[in-house]
Amino acid sequence: MIRKRVLARGEVQGVGFRFHARAEAQQLGLGGYARNRPDGSVELEIEGREASVSRMLHWLECGPRYAVVTALEVSDVAAIGENDFQITD
C-alpha cells in the first residue's frame, strides 16, 4: 500500500471536483480524503495499491468535466491503512 498527498491547482473549486474524486477513488478501492483549501486548490490524500493510486493520479490530471487542472503537486506520505475516502472541510 502507498499513500500520496496531492495538491490540484487551477479551476478546481466549484466544479464538483471533490465529489467526482471521491466517486473515482471509491471505484478504484482507494482510501483518503479531498478538501478545498483557502488558496483555491484542492488537497487530496489517496491510499491503496500502487496501480490504483497511479490510475487516480492520471484521472486527477484532468479531473471532472468542468475542472481545469493547471498543476498537480504530488508527494509521498506514510500509508496509514485507510480504506474509505472522505470529503472533509
Question: What integer pLDDT is reported at residue 44 of this predicted model?
Answer: 98
Question: What integer pLDDT is reported at residue 48 of this predicted model?
Answer: 97
> Each residue of 3-24: pLDDT tens digit?
999 999 999 999 999 999 999 9
Question: What are the φ/ψ torsions at residue 64 (nearest 5 degrees)?
Answer: -75, 175
27 falls in which pLDDT band (50, 70, 90)? very high
What number is the average pLDDT over the span 60-73? 96
Q: Answer for the pair 53, 4: CB distance below 8 angstroms, yes or no.
A: yes
Residue 27, C-alpha cell as written in the block: 471505484
**How is the chain split into domains, by residue range?**
2-80
Which residues carry out catalysis?
A: 18, 36
CATH code of 2-80, in short, is 3.30.70.100
Residue by residue, DSSP assigns the chain as -EEEEEEEEEE-SSSSHHHHHHHHHHHHT-EEEEEE-TTS-EEEEEEE-HHHHHHHHHHHTT-STT-EEEEEEEEEE-------EEE--
> Each residue of 33-59: pLDDT tens digit?
999 999 999 999 999 999 999 999 999
Question: What integer pLDDT is reported at residue 80 of this predicted model?
Answer: 96
The Cα–Cα gap between 15 and 48 comes to 25
89 falls in which pLDDT band (50, 70, 90)? confident
